[in-house]
Amino acid sequence: MKRVFAIFAIALSLGGCASMMSSAVTGLTANLSAAILNQDDPELVRIGAPSYLLLLDSFVEGSPDNPEILAAAATLYATYGAIFAEDELRAAKLTSRARRYSLKAMCETYAPACAWPDASYDEFVATLDGVGARHADFLYTYGFASLAFLKAHSSDWNSLAELPRIEALFTHYLNISGDAVNGSVYTFMGILLTFRPPALGGEPERAREFFEKAIALTDGHDLNVKVEFARGYAKLLYDRELHDRLLNEVIAADPYQDGFILTNVMAQEEAATLLAEADDYF
């Protein structure tokens, strides 16, 4: 803990140089993210992470127009709000801040993005044509924060109306990111396409392709993909056999895979819960 605060102290003493500060913050965020993802105690992360949210807020206060710092703060806020928020209202607040930060980061690097909140679907999609590879990371962050926001506001049908926009965003991201693609997008696409039943626009078979691609891309090390596959696709189609097979594979797997330990431990807990509730659903 002291070492982490020392790094922040060094960053704070950089004399206001935005590029150096940005490098220090994003480097710290990357290291912090790696440490969190390799932590096998979710409760420790839940208790400890809010301190870093406030510290990142302080960096945003100092450099409110720095897209790297804004994106770093957005990522941690979205992650915490989606995974660890204790109630719906708190999740909504945290993910709303994440979305604001991510939109500001996108706006600073691509001016047409500033109008996204008030744009129609067609206007939004038209502006995506100007988003190139150099914007890919910021586009991903905005998409991730938006998905976390929609998850926290899933009871609001007005929010769910945004699903096609986020799908278009991630589709464009896949088109421009090339070899630098963040494989989590395949899981996100699977989730997006199973938020709704087929009668209301859901596309479960396309979702299955994305889930299977995400599993292949991580060699099955990311157990959360199989949980979302079971929850989103198998339950939607009442496929009990697939549902139980996927979840039993999660429980039987070794969670200690570099970069996935935290989410794997949580995935195994969720898999056990879903299996215990399966008789009531199917």
The DSSP line for 53-97 is HHHHHHHHHH-TT-HHHHHHHHHHHHHHHHHT-SSHHHHHHHHHH
pTM of the model: 0.85
Distance CA 53, CA 270 (A): 26
Distance CA 96, CA 4 (A): 27
Supply 274's token pair: 């879903």
Residue 253 carries which DSSP code?
Answer: S
The widest CA-to-CA distance across the chain, in whole angstroms, is 61
Task: Please name the residues in contact with 116: beta carbons below 8 A apart, sequence gap of 6 or more.
Answer: 103, 106, 124, 127
Q: Which residues of the chain have pLDDT under 70?
A: 1-26, 28-30
Residue type, 51: S
Distance CA 272, CA 277 (A): 9
| Block residue for tokens 């710290």 | 28
Per-residue pLDDT tens over the stretch 202-224: 899 999 999 999 999 999 999 99
166 Rama sector, left if φ>0, alpha if ψ -120 to 50, beta otherwise: alpha
